[in-house]
Amino acid sequence: MKQTYYDAVIIGSGASGGAVAYTLTKAGFNVAVIEKGRLMKREDFSKDELAYCRRDIVTPNLFEEYHVIEEKVDGKWEATPTYDSGISFWNGNIVGGSSNFMSGMLHRLHPDDFRLKSKYGPIEDANVVDWPISYEDLEPYYTLAEELVGISGHYEPHPYEPPRSTPNFTQPPTKENAVVTLLDKSCKALGVTPLVTPRAVLSKDKGHRHACYYSNFCGSYGCSSGAKSSSREALLYPALATGRLTLLTNTHVKYLHSNSKDQVSHAVAVDTITGKEKTIHGRLFIVAAQAHESARLLLNSANKYHPNGLANSSSELGKNLIFSGGGSGQGELHKESLKEISFDALMQPGYFINRSILDWYFIDDWWHGKFKGGSVEWMFEHQNIISRARKNNYEDGRLVWGKALGERVVERFTNQKSIRFEIFNDWLPNDNCYVTIDPKHKDKYGMPVGKLRINGHPQDLKVGNYIAKKCEAILEGMGAKNIYSSVSSAPAQNLVAGGCRFGDDPKTSVLNRYCQAHDVPNLFVADASFMPTGGSVAYTWTIYANALRIADHIVDVLKKEQV
């Protein structure tokens, strides 16, 4: 049988893979996107908490595919497979990847995030470097992503709001709950400026996609209207419509094969249903499998030309893995003590809080000093019914049962509502946060699993705790009760970056400024792996923007080869 030869082979169909596929197919090139999971359409998604949050129907079984996590316990590093811990570092193995399940609260990086070392200087035990590109290089692609995938919001000038080349968003903000009246008032009394949250959710119809219908279930669930700006909805469907995209689902890439030192010839993959191996050939290969899995794939692609892993002459592959620092907290608004808004308005289902705070993105405090800070997102407690019913069901160390439990659950669901905040601050890259492969542990395909050593920097906790106290004060001003916060060095498994750092020096980086491997010119890495530092916001908008940027470069490369 004749082997199909693609202009580009993309491994992974999430935010970055979709952006590259969209750009290349629109430019007239034939592209294959390889996705380990299946294609789920809008009508396939449900709001089944058991299925999505308890039984992981869109992620692998941890006894078949897993990671090994190294954490320091009593001063010693201990390795635990995730099938023992139950902690999953998979984030949506279906077409569109984890972008199907994001909450969609997106921000651009600030210009100073691109020059963190120049701005703040070196930090002890942290591997902070400046980016090889600037905000100005990425700004046009932030704008393109905003329009292309659909990000709703309202721009207001703010000292830490990055500059824009357009006056406002093309999509107005999503609908807001009346609780913003209390939040805004409390913020202003404390001298804090609340901003409207940019959200990757359509507030009005766009092409084949319908506006948000305010189901109450956004994060952790797929969208049944197409409103959520996932790679699947916003990029892959239009790419498929060109007729130049081949979507290879249920296909897991085991390694990339190279016949020479500077060229990948094909991907070796396995059909996850039949178990049969196959090869996929192309001119260029773009890895977009999520940071820790992209590094794992390249490490597993070691051969005589690349004995330490594909594109790893610098020995930097897998190093400087980063997550998102920060934490969360919440407080309860109770029916009997609520003021200024009605309880019925508070309980209005589906509407968003839609507020962010950037006031502490950079901190200049006479008591605590000057340092890089973070951002805050405000939201209601997750709508998962089972999780909410199970909360705080202990009294004097004993589980509450029967009538007392029923009364407690009724009270929680009918007479109060919890307001939540999430803090995002830099996870500083360091020598003890990286991914390697573990030859002793292999997945069901015989592929060595990723071994993640996870270690947060003390500065991450300092920043998170500083901001948490500020947020607790806002909740107090709103009249909330039972206020608490939690800041931890445990990472958010859905926000992973680094491992394939980009830079101008091949001795200290894996990729060049176009996310092209220094060692292997026909290999690119498009996901968040490229990021030397993560900024103090969720990565998704930056992933979309950077993938669109490097996709333009790939188009130029392919056109030059045609001449």
pLDDT in tens, 13-71: 999 999 999 999 999 999 999 999 999 999 999 888 888 887 779 999 999 999 999 99
Q: Examine the pLDDT at 209 and tell me if it is beyond 60.
A: yes
Please return the burial class of 319, using the count of CB atoms within 10 Å of its CB with bins 0-12, 13-18 and 19+: buried
Phi, psi of 450, rounded to the nearest 5 degrees: -75, 135
**pLDDT for residue 1 is more than 70:** no
Residue pLDDT, tens place only, 502-545: 999 999 999 999 999 999 999 999 999 999 999 999 999 999 99
237-252: string of b/e by CB count within 10 Å (b at 16+)? Answer: bbbbebebbbbbbbbb
pLDDT at 81: 96
Strand partners, 251: 271
Task: Find the Cα–Cα–Cα–Cα dihedral 493, 497, 500, 506, rounded to 10°.
Answer: -150
pLDDT value at 492 more than 80: yes
Q: Are strands 523-525 and 277-287 parallel, antiparallel or unpaired?
A: parallel
Query: In this structure, what token pair is assigned to residue 410?
Result: 């009724």
pLDDT in tens, 343-375: 999 999 899 999 999 999 999 887 888 899 999
What confidence score (pLDDT) does residue 53 get?
A: 80
Burial class (CB in 10 A: 0-12, 13-18, 19+), 428: buried
Tokens 């082997």 belong to 3
To the nearest 10°, report the CA torsion of 356, 536, 419, 86: 150
* pLDDT classification of 555: cutoffs 50, 70, 90: very high
Is residue 489 within 8 A of residue 523, CB to CB? The reply is: no
> Packing angle between helix 15-26 and helix 540-562, nearest 10 degrees?
30
Q: What share of the chain is helix, strand, coil (3-state, %, to 5)?
A: 30, 25, 45
Q: pLDDT category, 383, cuts 50, 70, 90?
A: confident
287, 524 contact by CB (below 8 A): yes
Q: How far apart are CA 478 and CA 194, in angstroms?
A: 14
Amino acid at 121: G
Amino acid at 330: Q
CA 394 vs CA 375, 397, 398, 482: distances in Å: 33, 6, 5, 15
Distances 120 to 129, 317, 373, 509, 527 between C-alpha atoms, Å: 11, 26, 12, 21, 26
Give DSSP secondary structure letters for 297-321.
HHHTT--SSSTTSTT-TTS-TT-S-
Q: Would you state the pLDDT for residue 75?
A: 87
CA atoms within 13 A on the CB side of 446: 7
To 10 degrees, the CA torsion angle through 370, 357, 15, 516?
-20
CB 94 within 8 Å of CB 37? yes
List pLDDT tens digits, range 149-191: 999 999 999 999 999 999 999 999 999 999 999 999 999 999 9
pLDDT of residue 387: 83
How far apart (Å, rounded) are the C-alpha atoms in residues 400 and 409?
11
d(CA 501, CA 498): 6
Proportion of the chain above pLDDT 70, given as a percent? 99
pLDDT one-digit tens code per residue, 297-306: 999 999 999 9
The closest of 105, 104, 101, 349 to 215, measured between CA atoms, is: 349
Would you put residue 328 in left (φ > 0), alpha (ψ -120 to 50) or beta? beta
Output the pLDDT for position 563.
Answer: 61
DSSP, residue by residue, 435-476: EEEEEEEE-TTSPEEEEEE----HHHHHHHHHHHHHHHHHHH
Q: Identify the helix (H) or strand (E) that includes residue 278.
A: strand 277-287
What's the chain's average pLDDT?
94
Map residue 375 onto helix, strand or coil. Answer: strand
Note the pTM of the prediction, 2 decimals: 0.96
Query: How much is the CA Rg of the chain, to the nearest whole Å?
Result: 23
Retrieve residue 50's tokens.
């058991």
pLDDT at residue number 16: 98
